[in-house]
Amino acid sequence: MLAEALLEWYGREARDLPWRRTRDPYAILVSEVMLQQTQVARVVPRWEAWLERWPTPEALAAAPIAEVLGAWVGLGYNRRALRLREACVAVADGGWPEDLRTLPGIGPYTAAAVGAFAFGRDELPVDTNVRRVLERTGFVPSATPPELGQALMELGAMVCRAREAACSACPVASSCASAGAVVIAPRGRAGDGVRRERFEDSNRWVRGRVVEALAAGGELPEGIELERLERAIEGLIRDGLVRRGTDGLSLPM
């Protein structure tokens, strides 16, 4: 009952996202990697530009690392771009393996997503949205066709959200174990004694500015304390995202 109601709702309400219109495993892999901790609205134009520039895994595998990192600027977590390229090198050399987890940087969720959405496998990709929906509803799927995985993701992203459970708009509320009883923990507020770091104060922000500056061929970003800058640079060098040569810092080739 729950699965049927969910699939009917998904057929009516699903967002028209470009990676849902393809079964190309490479295009789906790119979307899954880009969507990790990045909002859908930001990913759509970047995904389209990426596929236009590198339409196949072979094309990405042959691309210079510096160009790949430059094209990734603004999506965050630049290591994802390296892992994506490494996976495409493996695919270009040996094709798509049966066990997608053997590709560099591909974990259980991404392997299940590509397996289901590209290859039609009976696998359920469990991301944070899907996990939340399953926990709240108590739903245990007996079968997991690709459309069901997409529907669970959509429900978690648009209705059964972490900070807002819109039970009155939920297509499966009548079968949900938590309908009308979801408890949302209050957000922390200023003055509650908990110090929250701004993104601009994080090491991740500095790392992103360094990669962005080097990708643009310019000087290192100004206005950042030297200690923070050096810490970020050393981390980038360790991760293979930046190299230090006799002529200074640069992105790897």
As annotated, the active-site residues are: 32
In terms of Cβ atoms closer than 10 Å to its own Cβ (0-12, 13-18, 19+), residue 226 is exposed
Compute the C-alpha angle 12/32/64, nearest 5°.
140
Cβ atoms of 35 and 43 closer than 8 Å: yes
Cβ atoms of 220 and 250 closer than 8 Å: no
How many residues would you count in the chain? 253
Nearest to 232 by CA among 209, 203, 199: 203
Please report, for residues 60, 236, 252, the alpha-carbon distance to residue 67 in angstroms, rounded to integers and kept in the order given: 10, 16, 9
Q: Which SS3 state, helix, strand or coil, does residue 179 take?
A: coil
